[in-house]
Every structure is written in structure tokens, then in C-alpha cells.
Amino acid sequence: MKIKKLFHQYFSEIYTINLFLFGILLCIYLHSFLKISLIEIFLFFLLTLTILLFPFYQIIFLKKELVSLKNLIRKYENPDDSKNKIALIGKMSVAVVHDLKNPMSTIQTLVEMANTNEITKEERIRNLNLIHREISRLSDMAYEILDFVRGDLILKPETLILEEFIAEVYHFLEIDFEYAKVDFILDLKYTGKVFFDAEKVRRVIVNLAKNALEAMYDKKRKYTFTVHSEKIKQKLHLSFEDNGPGLPESVQERIFQTFATEGKVNGTGIGLYMAKWTMDTHKGEIQYKTERGKGTTFTLIFSLGEQV
Amino acid sequence: MKKILIVEDQAPVAKILTDILKKGGFEVHNAINGQVGIDMALEVKPDFILTDIMMPVKTGYELIQELRANPDFSTTPIYAISAKGGTKDAEAAVGMGASGFLPKPFSPGTVVEMIKKILDVK
């Protein structure tokens, strides 16, 4: 029904405009019989040309409108897509509920500990930092799901200093690296200004780091996680290299899809899907290279354009 | 000094438990997932094991089943850590051979007292 209405509307518009232009043309044509001048002949040809070409422009525009309308209908009315999305959200909820319990009970325990005299001042400060971190984890999860369900990623980009940004991300992950006994190494060849949504990019990096840490558990090996940064042709290449076991082929096949790692017990299951989406929305790129037994490197590529 | 093995993938939980138990006078060892937990149990021979349930690589359930199948761990107290509302998971763990469960959130005093009582430590 919407398509029919749109057709009707556009053809009515074409008809009205054409009739109006034909009127003007007729006036000039009649006037030219009385007093023909070069300007009038020029105007006559120009208007005739406009009248002849105008419907073609209208049809091209109408075609574009129809394509976008068709996509819109497909997005909201295709039962398979909505079913898939609902199924994914359901699957995600199970993972999320499990993940929500952990930070919540950690916060409860830490708050309970704050009421006792059994902890030192240093431990109290550390516990407050942990509470702050756990609340950030809760909010990260909530926003990740919200963006996914809404199907819309709204960026709030800002100018940042890369070195400071990476230091903040490390502060957030410090306890995880310490616990996993993985060395966090910095190799920043570019440390200057960058322009992106700090919160969303932090979420991408946290996801990459957590995936790497989860895979690096062999106690006989010495593991590292290295952050490289480099400016190549007005672009920032920000890489995260681990020397873990590398990605299995089954994961590589569908790495940036939802639930690429079946059986994963932590996270929402959409971490790398969101990473790709975040980079696409930034008009950037995410690339990876991996080798079994050697490790994996993910590279985020941002434009260092006018804003920087 | 009695040896405790904490098998937990969540760093903050592991860190808090480690601090509490060290202050309570125990020697504490940490494992980041079920597989590392099994390896460390075989290596360290702990007197008490506290394990989370949902972990990567190998879950707490798998750890309990594999260790219980080993005669060296047939009587070792293995307690599952369960989040609030996760009592079904904890009960399932008990069904698979866990000695009991520690509900989260926990107060430091309660944990130390519970383990001391089980291990008969004064």
C-alpha cells in the first residue's frame, strides 16, 4: 500500500510541475512570435530541455526512494530476521544473566567488607576501585545489549591523547592481567591525538584483551599481550598482539558474527560482532592475523583526519 | 599450614578470596579455569578446594567429576562457589560430588570460619 501511495504522490508531482513549466514555455513561445530575440530563443531551448529531462530525474529519485523503502520493509517486516534477532537476544540473555551475577555479588561482598575492621586502608582503596570497575562492567554489558537490540550505534567521538587513553584501558584491565600472569607490553610509536568514541573503543579493546586472556592459561608458557601503535598514511594502526594458541579455524570462519565462539561461558557472545560494527561506524577497519601455536593480532585502523 | 586451592576465572573474586584466606592463616593457590584447577590440584595436593562453576576451558562440574574419579581426591573437601540465585547450579555440583557450596556474596569472617571448621583448624 505504501509503495502505491508513493507512486501516486510522485506522479502527481511530476504532472503538476510539468504542466506549470509547459505554461511558462507557451507564454515565451507566443511572445517570440511578436518579438524574437536571442535571449528568448535560448530560454525556449533551455526550458524545453528542462521539461524533457525533468521526468527522468524524478524517476531516478523515485527509484532510490523505492529501494530504501524496500530495505526498510525488509528490516521490520521480514519474519525470519525478527525471529533470528529474538532468538539471538534470548541466547544473549542467558549469557548476560550469568555475567551480571558475578559483578553484582563481587560488589556486595566488597560492600560487606567495607563495614568490617578486618581490612587495611590500602585494601579499602583497592576495593573501592574494584567496585568502580565492576559497575563499569555492568554498564558496558547493558550498553552492548542496548546497541545490539536497537540496531543503531550512536557515536560520541572526541579528541583524545592515545597514550593517556591506553593507560586508562590498562588501569581497567590491570587486575585481569595480574591474575592471569600475562605481561602487558606497550610499543607505542604513535602517542598523539586521536578522534573516536572513547567508551565504545574501550569496550572493543576490553573484549579483545579478555578473549586473549581466556586463551592464555598454559602455566608452562610465558604469555605477553603487546599494544602497538603506528601512523601509516594518515591512519592510526592500533594493534593488540598475543602469543597465545591462535584462533581455531572454526572460529575464524565466522569471527565477526554473533556467538562465533560456541560454548563460551563469559561475555554476551557479541563482543567481536560489536567490535566490527564499532569500527565500521567509525569508518575504520578491524583486521586480524592468527597462527596456531604462535598467537593472534587484531588491528584497529582509524583515520587521523581533519579532526585530529 | 593448610593449603587451599581457589579455582575462579573472575579476577576480583579470586583476589578477594585469596586475601581473606591468607589473612586466615592458609596457604593459597589460584587457578584461572577448570583445566588449570585440575592440573594444580594434582601438583599442589590441596587440603581444600573452592571452585567456581561456570568457567572457560573446563567448568567446575568437570573439575569435580575428574577429581572425584581420582582416588587421591575422593575425600578432599571440594566446595562450589555459587552466586546469589545460583543454588540450582550449586546443588547440581553437590550431586556430582562436591562436598557443599559457598554462596556469594560472602563475608570474610564466615568463609574463614567455615573452612577452619571443615578442616578442623583452630
Q: Looking at residue A240, what is its pLDDT?
A: 98
Average pLDDT over residues A99-118: 78
Q: Looking at residue A305, what is its pLDDT?
A: 76
> Of the candidates B12, B23, B83, which has its C-beta nearest A101's C-beta?
B83
Task: Give the integer Cα–Cα distance in Å for A160 and A15.
Answer: 54
pTM, entire model: 0.74
Min distance B7 CA to chain A CA atoms (Å) = 12
- pLDDT single digits (tens) B56-108: 899 999 999 999 999 999 999 999 987 756 678 888 888 999 999 888 777 77
Q: Which of chain B's residues have a Cβ under 8 Å away from the Cβ of A105?
A: 13, 83-84, 104-105
Q: Looking at residue A64, what is its pLDDT?
A: 65
- pLDDT single digits (tens) A196-255: 999 999 999 999 999 999 999 998 899 999 999 999 999 999 999 999 999 998 888 888
Instruction: Identify the residue with better confidence: A175 or A77.
Output: A175
Q: Which residues pair with A194 in a beta bridge?
A: A160
The reply to whether B108 touches chain A by the CB within 8 Å rule is yes
Tell me which residue has cell 579483545.
A208
Preceding omega of B105 cis (within 30 degrees of 0): yes
**Taking CA B90 as the corner, what is the angle to CA B84 and CA B91, rounded to the nearest 5 degrees?**
125
Structure confidence at residue A100 as a pLDDT band (50, 70, 90): confident
Test mutation, A217, A261, A266, chain B, max B CBs within 10 A: A217
Residues 6+ apart with CB under 8 A from A301: A235, A236, A237, A238, A279, A284, A285, A286, A287
What percentage of chain A exceeds 90 in pLDDT?
Answer: 38
Q: Looking at residue B88, what is its pLDDT?
A: 80
Average pLDDT over residues A261-287: 81
Average pLDDT over residues A20-39: 64
Contact B12 A130 (CB under 8 A): yes
Helical spans, DSSP H, in chain A: 2-34, 38-77, 79-114, 121-150, 162-180, 198-215, 249-253, 271-281
> Of the candidates A105, A130, A217, which has its C-beta nearest B36's C-beta?
A217
Contact A116 B109 (CB under 8 A): yes
Contact B104 A133 (CB under 8 A): no
Q: Looking at residue A36, what is its pLDDT?
A: 63
Task: Give the integer Cα–Cα distance in Å for B101 and B87.
Answer: 9
**Taking CA A32 as the corner, what is the angle to CA A27 and CA A37, rounded to the nearest 5 degrees?**
130
What percentage of chain A exceeds 70 in pLDDT?
Answer: 67
The reply to whether B83 touches chain A by the CB within 8 Å rule is yes
C-alpha cell at A109: 561482598
The reply to whether B118 touches chain A by the CB within 8 Å rule is no
- pLDDT single digits (tens) A173-182: 999 999 999 9
Contact B56 A134 (CB under 8 A): no
Min distance A133 CA to chain B CA atoms (Å) = 10
CB B5 within 8 A of CB B37: yes
CB A300 within 8 A of CB A282: no
Instruction: Identify the residue with better confidence: A182 or A261.
Output: A182
Rg (Cα) of chain B, in Å, rounded?
A: 13
Task: Give the integer Cα–Cα distance in Å for A293 and A223.
Answer: 12
Q: What is the overall mean pLDDT for chain A? A: 80
- Here the ipTM equals 0.90
Task: Give the integer Cα–Cα distance in Å for A265 and A280.
Answer: 27
Contact A179 B56 (CB under 8 A): no
- Element of type H or E holding A224: strand A224-232
- Element of type H or E holding A281: helix A271-281
Q: Are strands A295-303 and A285-291 parallel, antiparallel or unpaired?
A: antiparallel
Contact B57 A123 (CB under 8 A): no
